[in-house]
Amino acid sequence: MATVTGVSVADEVPGPPERSPLSADGAGTRRLGDRLFGGAAQGAGILVIALVTLVGLFLLWQAVPALARNEAGFLTSREWTVSGDHPRFGIVELLWTTVVSSLIAMAIAVPVGVAVALFITQYAPRWLAKPAANLVDLLAAVPSIIYGLWGLRTFGPKYEPVQTFLQDKLGAFPLLSKTSVSGSGTVMFIGIVLAIMVLPIVTALSREVFAQTPVAHKEGALALGATRWEMIRTAVLPFGRPGVISASMLALGRALGETIAVTIIVSTLADQTVWSWSLFNGGETFASRIANNAQEFDSPQKAGAFIAAGLVLFILTFIVNAVARIVIERRKAFSE
């Protein structure tokens, strides 16, 4: 069991001796004050449920008429003609760009984020640990439009030669082949910028779980003569694995839905562009397609098509976040 979940240490360590926090004690009474206050609190909770439900329902309700008139396969088509009597639109290209750029971001952000979390919790000298954590958190505080601006005007030009180099040397691989897109507005580059943006998310949660590794297990490993790195591999990483997984899922959710930075950076493709699997192609994510056309929502049919795309994005992030939640819950179940 423990080998599957990676929380081998957690279920062997008894929790703190005190009573667990009595979440929701039974001290409420039928007094007016208690009923009003308790009712208001419960009402706020129900409002939150209602809000999320309404988001789903409203998007569905607005999307269905547009989908009904759509003459192309919504899940299979690359077309995007949303006005006129014969709307034809599909999301396959949006899906590809969204998912691939987010996966590139994960491939970079997870290892680096975990390493940074290990640095902060295990390697950094005491005086540096806290400032280091704050600095990485600062990355999360920078608004995404600034990432977009910086990516477009500053980072992009510096990255271009690297991309050209890769295309020249490795262009034989379909994933790295040359495309009609010149410049840095490629899926690959969005992935890199997204990686920087979600890095603090991976780091923050990972370092929290790493810091909770029981001292007894770390010392146990060290007492057996393990080096620090061996101690981390045998005690810290297995203990923190569920935390890293859920952190990655949360980061993935953020990357999938990131809008303005992607919108600013990515090169949109002209209609009828020849399809390419290359990561050096341009394209649009769900979010950037919606954002790029925000000023054109002038008819319910047009808006409906974009709302349908938004609905798919909502479902995608819903699934990813639900998985993250389940991983966290399972970890809780094992550590209590």
Partner 1 sequence: MAKRIDVSDLNVYYGAFKAVEGVTMTVEPRSVTAFIGPSGCGKSTFLRTLNRMHEVIPGGRVEGKVMLDDQDLYASGVDPVAVRRTVGMVFQRPNPFPTMSIYDNVAAGLKLNGLKGKKKLDDVVEKSLKGANLWNEVKDRLNKPGAGLSGGQQQRLCIARAIAVEPQVLLMDEPCSALDPISTLAIEDLIGELKSKYTIVIVTHNMQQAARVSDRTAFFNLAATGKPGQLVEVDDTQRIFNNPSVKATEDYISGRFG
Partner 2 sequence: MSAADTAARAPSAPSGGQSSSGRPAGGRPAEPPPALGHPARVREARDLLASVVMWAAFALALIPLVWILWTVVSKGYHLLSEGQWWTNSQKGITSRREGGGAVHAIQGTLVQGLTTALISVPIGVMTAIYLVEYGRGRLAKAVSFMVDILTGIPSIVAGLFVYAVWVTTFHFQRVGFAVCLSLVLLMIPVIVRSTEEMLKLVPNELREASYALGVPKWKTIFKIVLPTAFSGIVTGILLGLARVMGETAPLLILGPYSKSIATDLFSGYMATLPTMINQDRTESLQPAVDRVWAAALTLILLVLLLNVAGRLVARFGSVKK
Q: Which of residues 18-47 bind partner 1 (CB under 8 A)?
A: 22, 24-27, 29, 31
Q: Which is nearer to partner 1, 31 or 228 (CB)?
A: 31
In the set 13, 47, 75, 175, which binds partner 2 (CB under 8 A)? Answer: 47
Give how many residues touch partner 1 by CB under 8 A: 7
Give the C-alpha separation, 29 to 187, whole Å.
58
Write the single-letter amino acid at 253.
G
Question: Does 115 participate in binding partner 2 (rule CB under 8 A)?
Answer: yes
Binding map of partner 2 across residues 148-177, x = CB under 8 A, - = no contact: xxx-x-xx----------------------
Nearest to 186 by CA among 151, 219, 210, 211: 151
Which string of x and - marks every residue 279-308 that binds partner 2 (by CB under 8 A)?
-------xx--xx--xx-x--x--x--xx-
Partner touching 144 among partner 1, partner 2, none, CB below 5 to 8 Å by kind: partner 2
Residue 36 burial (CB < 10 Å; 0-12/13-18/19+)? exposed
Q: Is 52 in the site for partner 2 (CB under 8 A)?
A: yes
List the one residue from 43, 83, 164, 173 that touches partner 2 (CB under 8 A).
43
In the bound state with partner 1, the residue whose beta carbon lies nearer, of 34 and 230, is: 34
Map residue 186 onto helix, strand or coil: coil
Q: Is the separation of the CB atoms in 135 and 203 below 8 Å?
A: no
Two structure tokens written together for 268 = 């949109």
Question: In the complex, which residues of this chain contact partner 1 (CB under 8 A)?
Answer: 22, 24-27, 29, 31
